[in-house]
């Protein structure tokens, strides 16, 4: 018989709010993402200077993941990461494009270009939490719980991972939306497509 | 678990518009990389491999497509069309579509592009292909840096094993674009000659363009002579740096070990390694360290970047298809551009194309974000 998996923890970052398991842990009315995420970082007593070098998508994904993973003590744990969004890395793509538009004002930078891939944010999470595990990044028009569910179930059933951190992290033209959740054997919520959908929509 | 096979395939590249032609060129040790002088792509002449757009136009016209497609979409349509037609599979609810790309239609962000900027959203490619071929299921886009092509094969396998699909068509592609060239140039990673993976005198990468398509299935009624069985696959992060590979080769070491466990094979059963070999000092050195930690230093190994350049999100699939033909023809293709070993650990670089009995090969790739992937594939004939 297949083991049953559960959603242990989940987090949202949207509309100036950072919440854990449905409870708001930080709130800032400011509309501007970069100010909001910096205040959120300070509110959580994080000490990770690299955070300030990240692009918007990475800051968003990193913050959401950190809220979930900091309670995980064993850094060598095999936690796979499966993320998805609509805009890929377009926010940073547009910045790199801006730097190459004009041959008289040409300033492409490696520190911007490296973030023109959506999976870089997974790399940032892996570095901080020392995760040598499986990662994948998928692009969809909309949040796709069916696909996240099947990928996660497969990784856990085949023991390619002990836990899976998955969800949606989208940053596009100053709009942001993050919903991450951790699936494992322990937890109070069933890992079903219906439950994932409900948690995504809550708030 | 169902057995998974890689079957009907197509490569469109500067070496030709179908897999067989491309393989013949590789057998003759012809490189598709040349000096390209196109100010719309780069301010100076550069070494790269670009698909001939006149041939593309002619071939695409024969498809009689009704809509206006971007260059990348045209190439993907053409490539996928060949594979779908050859396989003779009816597109229904049991057939999935996966697209592997890093940057998709990124060229639409250029001022001169006649396409709407919304075409830069990667799901647009899925919509275009779905509508053209009348796929009944939602296309899946994998965008995971330079391992996307290999990771997509793993994803297809899992979806078939989980009985979501019976067959999956996978298409991969990335353009040689101003966007990508300017970025790699800012890293000072572009070579001023044809790249020389693992060589002492290497000077960086060449960016290339190649589109590949393949059928992945568990149904033995849909196999070809070059079909292979996917024995094991894995993907591991270095947890080290977003743009530099791990000095200990940790992620690559771990993912190859994990793929070997799944495949339940011993190191001596691997006949050939199709490695990543971008010809940057850090990448090549990392691979040499990882392969030595695995005890693979005596297994014949090549990098195919000297033929295609680095074709980014397509490279993993293109190079896997070439490996399938290597097994079919029992031929080890020479690692084009190799001069003398320039890594700190021994590697068995294939210096001359030669005949040898081949049964199992390992395909690996690594990329930005610290990702590493491995596949183990076995000849079925």
- Written as tens digits, the pLDDT of chain B (381 aa) is 899 999 999 999 999 999 999 999 999 999 999 999 999 999 999 999 999 999 999 999 999 998 999 999 999 999 999 999 999 999 999 999 999 999 999 999 999 999 999 999 999 999 999 999 999 999 999 999 999 999 999 999 999 999 999 999 999 999 999 999 999 999 999 999 999 999 999 999 999 999 999 999 999 999 999 999 999 999 999 999 999 889 999 999 999 999 999 999 999 999 999 999 999 999 999 999 999 999 999 999 999 999 999 999 999 999 999 999 999 999 999 999 999 999 999 999 999 999 999 999 999 999 999 999 999 999 997
| List of chain B residues whose C-beta atoms are within 8 Å of the C-beta of residue A90 | 120-121
**Residues B187, A101: C-beta atoms closer than 8 Å:** no
**What distance in Å separates residue A58's CA from the closest CA in chain B?**
11
**Residues A150, B164: C-beta atoms closer than 8 Å:** yes
SS3 A43: helix
Sorted by sequence, the CB contacts under 8 Å of residue B293 that are 6+ apart come out as B248, B249, B253
How many Å apart are CA B163 and CA B165, to the nearest integer? Answer: 5
Whole-number pLDDT of residue A31 = 78
Q: Which member of B123, B144, B241 has the closest CB to residue A137?
A: B144
Order of strands, edge to edge, in the sheet holding B34-36?
B34-36, B46-49, B207-208
Whole-number pLDDT of residue A77 = 83
Tell me the residues of chain B between 251 and 270 that have a Cβ less than 8 Å away from chain A. 251, 254, 258
Whole-number pLDDT of residue A114 = 97
In the block, residue with structure tokens 């990329």:
B367
Whole-number pLDDT of residue A1 = 45
**Residues A140, B251: C-beta atoms closer than 8 Å:** no
Residue A61, sorted as left (phi over 0), alpha (psi -120 to 50) or beta, turns out to be: alpha
Sorted by sequence, the CB contacts under 8 Å of residue B159 that are 6+ apart come out as A150, B96, B165, B168
**Residues B141, A138: C-beta atoms closer than 8 Å:** yes
Q: Which member of A90, A110, A132 has the closest CB to residue B236?
A: A132
**pTM of the model as a whole:** 0.98
Asked if A102 reaches chain B (Cβ–Cβ under 8 Å), the answer is: no
SS3 B234: strand
| List of chain B residues whose C-beta atoms are within 8 Å of the C-beta of residue A162 | none
Asked if A152 reaches chain B (Cβ–Cβ under 8 Å), the answer is: no
How many Å apart are CA B48 and CA B46, to the nearest integer? Answer: 6
How many Å apart are CA B348 and CA B156, to the nearest integer? Answer: 31
| List of chain B residues whose C-beta atoms are within 8 Å of the C-beta of residue A76 | none
Whole-number pLDDT of residue B57 = 95
Averaged pLDDT in 10-residue chunks for chain A of 203 residues: 82 96 93 94 94 98 96 75 98 97 92 98 96 96 97 96 97 96 94 97 81
| List of chain B residues whose C-beta atoms are within 8 Å of the C-beta of residue A108 | 182-183, 185-186
**What distance in Å separates residue A85's CA from the closest CA in chain B?**
10
- What pairs with residue A105 in β-bridges? A102
Q: Which member of A113, A118, A154 has the closest CB to residue B186?
A: A113
In contact, A92 and A55? CB cutoff 8 Å? yes
How many Å apart are CA A108 and CA B187, to the nearest integer? Answer: 9
Tell me the residues of chain B between 142 and 181 that have a Cβ less than 8 Å away from chain A. 142-145, 151, 155, 158-159, 161-162, 164, 178-179
**What distance in Å separates residue A89's CA from the closest CA in chain B?**
9
| Nearest chain B alpha carbon to A114 | B243
Q: Which of B127, B120, B107, B100 is nearest to B312 (CA)?
A: B100
**What distance in Å separates residue B379's CA from the closest CA in chain A?**
24
Q: Mutual orientation of helices B123-133 and B71-87 as an angle, nearest 10°?
A: 40
Percent of chain B past pLDDT 70, that is, above it, reads 100
List the Cα angle B144/B5/B274 in 5-degree steps: 55
CA–CA distance from A72 to each of A9, A62, A67, A168, B326 (Å)?
Answer: 11, 15, 10, 21, 45
Tell me what ipTM this predicted complex has. 0.97
């Amino acid at each position: 018989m297949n083991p049953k998996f559960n959603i242990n923890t989940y987090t949202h970052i949207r509309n100036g709010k950072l919440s854990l398991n449905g409870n708001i842990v930080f709130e800032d009315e400011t509309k501007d993402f970069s100010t909001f995420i910096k205040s959120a970082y300070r509110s959580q007593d994080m000490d990770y200077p690299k955070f300030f070098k990240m692009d918007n998508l990475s800051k968003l994904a990193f913050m959401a993941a950190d809220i979930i993973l900091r309670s995980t003590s064993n850094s060598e744990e095999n936690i796979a990461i499966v993320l998805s969004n609509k805009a890929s890395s377009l926010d940073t793509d547009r910045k790199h494009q801006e730097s190459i538009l004009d041959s008289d004002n040409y300033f492409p930078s490696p520190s911007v270009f490296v973030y023109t891939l959506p999976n870089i944010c997974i790399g940032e999470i892996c570095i901080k939490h020392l995760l040598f595990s499986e990662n994948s990044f998928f692009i969809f028009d909309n949040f796709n719980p069916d696909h996240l569910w099947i990928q996660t179930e497969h990784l856990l059933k085949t023991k390619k991972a002990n836990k899976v951190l998955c969800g949606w992290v989208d940053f596009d033209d100053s709009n942001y939306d993050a919903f991450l959740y951790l699936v494992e054997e322990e937890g109070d919520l069933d890992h079903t497509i219906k439950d994932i959908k409900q948690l995504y929509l809550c708030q | 678990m169902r057995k998974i096979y890689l079957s009907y395939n197509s490569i469109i590249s500067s070496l030709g518009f179908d897999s067989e032609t491309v393989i013949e060129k590789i057998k003759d040790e012809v490189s598709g990389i040349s000096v390209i002088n196109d100010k719309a792509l780069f301010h100076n002449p550069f070494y790269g491999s670009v698909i001939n757009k006149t041939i593309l136009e002619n071939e695409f016209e024969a498809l009689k497509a009704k809509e206006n497609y971007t260059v990348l979409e045209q190439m993907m349509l053409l490539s996928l069309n060949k594979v779908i037609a050859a396989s003779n599979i009816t597109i229904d609810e049991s057939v999935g579509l996966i697209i592997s790309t890093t940057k998709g239609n990124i060229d639409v962000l250029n001022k001169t592009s006649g396409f709407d900027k919304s075409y830069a959203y990667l799901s647009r490619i899925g919509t275009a292909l779905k509508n053209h071929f009348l796929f009944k299921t939602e296309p899946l886009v994998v965008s995971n840096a330079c391992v996307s092509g290999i990771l997509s094969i793993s994803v297809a396998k899992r979806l078939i094993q989980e009985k979501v699909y019976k067959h999956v068509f996978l298409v991969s592609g990335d353009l040689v674009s101003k966007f990508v060239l300017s970025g790699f140039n800012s890293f000072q990673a572009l070579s001023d000659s044809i790249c020389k993976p693992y060589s002492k005198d290497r000077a960086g990468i060449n960016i290339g363009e190649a589109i590949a398509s393949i059928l992945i299935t568990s149904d033995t009624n849909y196999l070809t002579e070059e079909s292979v069985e996917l024995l094991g696959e894995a993907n591991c992060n270095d947890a080290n740096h977003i743009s530099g590979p791990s000095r200990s080769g940790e992620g690559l070491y771990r993912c190859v070990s994990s793929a070997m466990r799944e495949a339940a094979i011993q190191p001596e059963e691997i006949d050939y390694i199709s490695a990543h070999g971008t010809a940057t000092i850090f990448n090549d050195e990392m691979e040499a360290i990882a392969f030595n930690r695995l005890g693979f230093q005596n297994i014949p190994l090549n990098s195919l970047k000297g033929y295609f350049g680095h074709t980014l999100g397509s490279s993993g699939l293109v190079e896997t298809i070439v490996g399938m033909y290597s097994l079919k023809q029992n031929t080890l293709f020479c690692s084009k551009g190799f001069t003398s070993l320039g890594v700190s650990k021994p590697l068995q670089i294939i210096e001359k194309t030669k005949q040898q009995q081949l049964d199992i090969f390992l395909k690996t790739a690594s990329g930005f974000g610290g990702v590493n992937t491995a596949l183990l594939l076995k000849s079925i004939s």
